[in-house]
Each structure stands twice: as C-alpha cells, then as structure tokens.
Amino acid sequence: MSEKLRYELTQLWPSEIADQLYCEYKVHLRRTHPEVRVESAALDWGEANHAALAAQAAPVSAEEVERAIAEGKKLALCEWTLEGTFRGVALRGRPDFFAFEGRRAQLVLDFKFSGGDRPYRSQEVQASVYAFLAGEMGFDTSELCYGIVLFPPHARRLGPGDAARAKEDRLRSLQADGTLADIYDRCAEARQRLLARRYRKQSVDGSHSCPFVANWQKQ
C-alpha cells in the first residue's frame, strides 16, 4: 500500500480526499508538518457542535451492532467506522450519522457548521465516499440516501478562549432540544419522499432552533 500512497500512508480518510478539491497544498502541508496546529474559531466551533450532537447518542458495543445487523433490526449510529477499498487503496471513515435496518443501509449524514446555504463540492464528495464505504461493508445500498446537514453559524464570532464555554453551552442546548432525534426524523421522512418520487435531489428546511438544509442524492 505504501507504493500507492504518499507520506507513507496505509489508508485514506474521506475528509482528506474531499479537502483536495479545495486545496491540495493544504493537505500536503498538514501531512508534512503535523506538529503545526492551526487555530480557528470556526474549526473549534464545528468540533464543539459535532461533539455535542454525538453525545446525545447512547453508547453501543460492537457486539450489539453486529447482533442488530444479524437480526435485521433498525439502528442509527454516530461516528461508526466504515472501511473499504477503492482501486487497491484502503479507505476508512466515520460518518457523523449512519442509519440502517439489518443489512439495508438507509441514511448517511454528514454535519457541517460552515454557515453556507448549500454544500460545497468537497462536502458532497465526502458524503458520497461514506455511502460507498457502506456498500464495501456489505450493506445493501440500493435505497441508501446520503446527505449533508448544514447548520447555521453561531450568532457571534468566537475567539479561542471562548471555545470551551461554547462547547458546554451548546452541549446543554442540543441535549435539551433533542436535535439529533429531530434530524433523524426529518431526514427519514425526506428519504421516503425522495424514494417514492424517484428524485435525485431534494432539500428540506427545518424550523427547529437549529434549522438545517439537507441535500440528497440517491446512491
């Protein structure tokens, strides 16, 4: 594998594949200078929100996941590792949200807090690679929908010193609001409409305190 990949890598991550569409040199610098930590209020804010949403999910063991798959049960997981290969290159990623029923994959969602009103091409690529990996894991992807859930930015700019407090505040807020369950319900309904009408893309606007737009494309 080292003969195929630079920087002596043994695998690639979907986020890094997608980042190359934005700036290949940025990916290069991150690999050649891993000791450099770029401070960014927007990045800290996104990480805090991702952690807050994931914290709403109840812990589940690998054995419970395998049992749910074998018994054909419904299960939705946050940041569950998906693995596969493409043209001999190992890929490994953790989508923000993956829902399935037995071996039938249903939803792959990637959460973004960049504040845009539509996904960037790199974000679409990242979500689509997650969907590809679901198939590599042995799931039936014939009715899998993958999407990007876009959250609005925080109302004010955050400095590095505010990151920890913002993380705690958002965690309490999201847990109280049940945002993760709301996202799942809304996106599951949109998926059913999409499949019934055989649309390739669809947008859904939420009226929740954390409104989102999910852009869909059938796998």
Residue 56 belongs to some domain of the structure: yes
Residue 201 belongs to some domain of the structure: yes
Residue 173 belongs to some domain of the structure: yes
Q: How many domains does the chain have?
A: 1
Residue 22 belongs to some domain of the structure: yes
What domain range includes position 15? 6-218
Q: Is the pLDDT of residue 100 over 70?
A: yes
pLDDT band for position 55 (50/70/90)? confident
Residue 95 belongs to some domain of the structure: yes
Residue 1 belongs to some domain of the structure: no
On average, the pLDDT of the chain sits at 78
More confident residue, 139 or 151: 139
Answer whether 167's CB lies under 8 Å from 48's CB.
yes
Q: What is the pLDDT of residue 207?
A: 29
Residue 111 belongs to some domain of the structure: yes
End-to-end CA distance of the chain: 28
**Minimum mean pLDDT among 6-15, 41-50, 143-152: which range?**
41-50
